[in-house]
Amino acid sequence: MAAILTPHPARTPRPAFVVLEGGLAPARMARVYRRRRLGALLVGVVLLSVGLVAGRAALVAVTPQPPPAATGTVAVRPAATAGPVVVVRPGDTIWSVARRLQPEGDVRPLVDRLAAAHGPDSLQAGEAIPVAP
């Protein structure tokens, strides 16, 4: 197998780097700079205000709203039976109420009785739960 050798073409030297004078006058460059900065500021303010409005709308959409008051109807909870009651404090759970009533020992039977007396609704501060013996 024979190799064919060819001479490389002659490389031309790169042209010299030359700085050309010109461009904008310093006063005109300053005006362009200010105008660009003002435009960027305006775009930023518009985007920020749109973001705040959209964020507030999203916050209002996910914030739970109280149900509208029905006119002429009143929800009444059945009266508790006569006997001892425990008043629910803010942050209380059925377990914390049971532990407050029975500081030692197994509270599971008491939790079951309190849950049966209260029902499936969540606890509300100030609510009275009858304590069945």
Per-residue pLDDT of the chain in tens (133 residues, 90 and over written 9): 566 777 767 777 888 888 877 776 778 888 888 999 999 999 999 998 888 888 777 666 665 656 655 554 444 455 545 668 888 888 888 888 888 888 888 989 988 888 888 888 888 888 888 876 6
In this structure, what is the dihedral angle of CA atoms 93, 97, 100, 103, given to the nearest 10 degrees? -90
Q: The whole model's pTM is what?
A: 0.38
Pair 89, 119 in one domain: yes
**Residue 128 phi/psi, 5° resolution?**
-105, 125
- Taking phi over 0 as left and psi of -120 to 50 as alpha, with beta for the rest, 130 belongs to beta
pLDDT in tens, 57-85: 766 666 565 665 555 444 445 554 566 88
126 within some domain: yes
Residue 94 burial by Cβ neighbours in a 10 Å radius (0-12, 13-18, 19+): buried
* Domain span at 102: 85-130
- Partners of 128 in beta bridges: 87
CATH number (domain holding residue 114): 3.10.350
Asked if residue 8 is part of any domain, the answer here is: no
Question: Whole-angstrom Cα distance, residue 87 to residue 93?
Answer: 11
Q: How many alpha carbons fall within 13 Å on the CB side of residue 25?
A: 2
In a domain, 47, yes or no: yes
For residue 17, is it within any domain? no
Torsion from C-alpha of 92, 93, 95, 97, nearest 10 degrees: 40
Q: Is residue 4 part of a domain?
A: no
In this predicted structure, what is the pLDDT of residue 86? 83
In a domain, 122, yes or no: yes
In a domain, residue 23? The reply is no
Count of structural domains within the chain = 2
- Assigned domain for 116 exists: yes
The 10 Å Cβ neighbour count of residue 88 is: 19
